[in-house]
């Protein structure tokens, strides 16, 4: 006899008995109730006492023959949206409006179980490679990434901001632990409504000291992704099967300098380059197609972005100061990571800030680390929702976001 807790996901009445699908922590378990047994409505929370019987036709290989159902709570109202079919057949808006219940759908929740797996894989990888996990403030005195996409707030009469990234703090912590990582929320006041922008997202950041070049950061990211994809394939088989996923296999990730990438796309698709300083989303997609055709890789590093488009902390190239020691990682045509080497020398950092007409004084606390000695270092930030959505083949990051925040949405 077994006692099991769960929610009644679906009742299927048959002749003389009913199938009761019970939604438990990770699985939907098939139970069988006799015809006489009184069943509470779907989404009731119950304690079931049952015997375990082998059953080949059940997905798990067994089913539970119910002896007793103790009802712990019943819903006040029936769900306004059908959640117990294979998919929640509704618009994205509805899917998000009714998130507390649509997430109960077996496939919907599998997305986020898999996202948990991604974070667990990353974390394990970081621990195995001597990174220390840190938690840095999200209420900050100044923005790290520049640009207008910063939320301000009143902090007891002082102007403060919501952190656009943990950039300053993860760099400071390199001076403390040499290798650090953080998985946490960041905030971007993006005013445009696109399929790849959220106003709050989860950033996977790492930062490491004593590097010689950006290649070492790119190698670390490649190893991190490889590890995590294998981890998922071993530990998250249930979700992979349910979502019908084929995980990409990483051997090596090709890298191409930014200017060459622009040129390559322009030549292959006869599109004149409009902007030599940045990628258009369409160009990223086209580059992916080209690289995929040539190498079979669904990932591609683009290196040495123009200085003008990178933040003030990015290290410029010795060979050409108009370019930076930085990179992006594109996955299936979408930027999922930005990374690079940072300036570690105090005078060099101050000079770059002055060149950009920045108020050096207001960055005193950031510059403290440079002033008092920092190793050559660098790192990256990866958008968890972007990575998850591309892994799952979704065109919109919202599908891989539990409770998205965008210009139109603050609830649920």
> Does 165 engage in binding with ligand AMO (CB under 6 A)?
yes
- Check residue 180 for interaction with ligand AMO (CB under 6 A): no
Q: How far is the CB of 211 from ligand AMO (least distance, A)?
A: 13
Of 95, 198, 220, 232, the one binding ligand AMO by CB under 6 A: 198
In angstroms, what is the minimal distance from the CB of 410 to ligand AMO? Answer: 16
**Nearer Cβ to ligand AMO (8/334):** 334
Within 130-149, the residues that bind ligand AMO by CB under 6 A are: 145
Q: How far is the CB of 201 from ligand AMO (least distance, A)?
A: 4
Q: Are strands 132-133 and 179-187 parallel, antiparallel or unpaired?
A: parallel
Instruction: State which of positions 321-340 bind ligand AMO (CB under 6 A).
Output: 335-340
167 makes contact with ligand AMO (CB under 6 A): yes
Tokens of 105: 């759908």
The answer to whether 248 and 225 are in contact (CB under 8 A) is: no
Q: Is 216 in the site for ligand AMO (CB under 6 A)?
A: no
How far is residue 5's CA from residue 44's CA, in Å, rounded to a whole number? 11
Total Cβ atoms within 10 A of residue 401: 25
Distance (Å, whole) CA 192 – CA 234: 38
Least gap, CB of 217 to ligand AMO (angstroms): 9
Return the H-helix or E-strand segment holding 118: helix 106-128
Candidates 73-81, 248-256, 357-365, 374-382; binding stretch for ligand AMO (CB under 6 A) = 374-382
Q: Which CA distances in Å does 112 have to 26, 353, 391?
A: 11, 41, 12
> Closest Cα partner for 367 from 352, 383, 380?
352
Nearest residue to ligand AMO, by Cβ distance, number only: 383
Residue 228 in contact with ligand AMO, rule: CB under 6 A: no
Decide if residue 188 touches ligand AMO (CB under 6 A): yes
395 within 8 A of 334, measured Cβ to Cβ: no
Q: 329: which strand partners?
A: 301, 337
Using the minimum distance from each CB to ligand AMO, give the nearer residue, 117 or 383: 383
Residue 404: burial class (beta carbons within 10 Å; 0-12, 13-18, 19+): buried
Interface contacts to ligand AMO, rule CB under 6 A: 145, 165, 167, 188, 190, 197-198, 201, 203, 205, 335-340, 379-383, 385-386, 397
């Amino acid at each position: 006899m077994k006692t099991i807790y769960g929610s009644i996901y679906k009742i299927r009445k048959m002749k003389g008995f009913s199938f009761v699908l019970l939604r438990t922590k990770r699985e939907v378990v098939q139970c069988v109730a006799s015809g006489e047994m009184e069943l509470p409505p779907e989404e009731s929370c119950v304690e079931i006492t049952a015997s375990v019987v082998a059953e080949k036709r059940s997905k798990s290989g067994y089913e539970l023959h119910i002896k007793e159902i103790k009802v712990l709570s019943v819903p006040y109202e029936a769900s306004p949206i059908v959640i117990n079919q294979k998919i929640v057949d509704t618009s994205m808006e509805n899917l998000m409006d009714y998130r507390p219940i649509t997430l109960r759908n077996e496939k919907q929740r599998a997305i986020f179980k898999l996202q948990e797996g991604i974070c667990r894989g990353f974390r394990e990888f970081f621990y195995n490679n001597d990174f220390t996990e840190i938690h840095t403030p999200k209420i900050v005195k100044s923005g790290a990434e520049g640009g207008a996409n910063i939320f301000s707030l009143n902090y007891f009469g002082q102007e403060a901001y919501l952190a656009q990234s943990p950039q300053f703090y993860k760099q400071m912590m390199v001076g403390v632990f040499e290798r650090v990582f953080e998985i946490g929320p960041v905030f971007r006041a993006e005013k445009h409504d696109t399929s790849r922008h959220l106003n709050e997202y989860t950033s996977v950041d790492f930062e490491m000291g004593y590097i010689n070049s950006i290649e070492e950061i790119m190698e670390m990211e490649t190893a991190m992704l490889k590890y995590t994809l294998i981890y998922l394939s071993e530990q998250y088989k249930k979700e992979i099967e349910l979502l019908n996923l084929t995980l990409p296999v990483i051997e090596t990730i090709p890298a191409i300098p930014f200017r060459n990438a622009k040129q390559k796309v322009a030549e292959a698709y006869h599109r004149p380059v409009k902007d030599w300083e940045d990628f258009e989303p369409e160009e990223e997609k086209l580059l992916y197609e080209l690289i995929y055709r040539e190498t079979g890789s669904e990932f591609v590093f683009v290196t040495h972005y123009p200085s003008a488009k990178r933040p003030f902390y990015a290290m410029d190239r010795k060979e050409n100061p108009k370019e930076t020691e930085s990179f992006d990682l594109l996955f299936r045509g979408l930027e999922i990571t930005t990374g690079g080497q940072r300036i570690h020398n105090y005078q060099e950092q101050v000079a770059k800030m002055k060149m950009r007409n920045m108020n050096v004084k207001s960055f005193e606390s950031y510059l403290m680390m440079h002033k008092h000695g920092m190793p050559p270092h660098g790192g990256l930030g990866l958008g968890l929702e972007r990575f998850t959505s591309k892994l799952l083949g979704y065109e919109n990051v919202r599908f891989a976001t539990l409770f998205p925040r965008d210009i139109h949405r603050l609830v649920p």
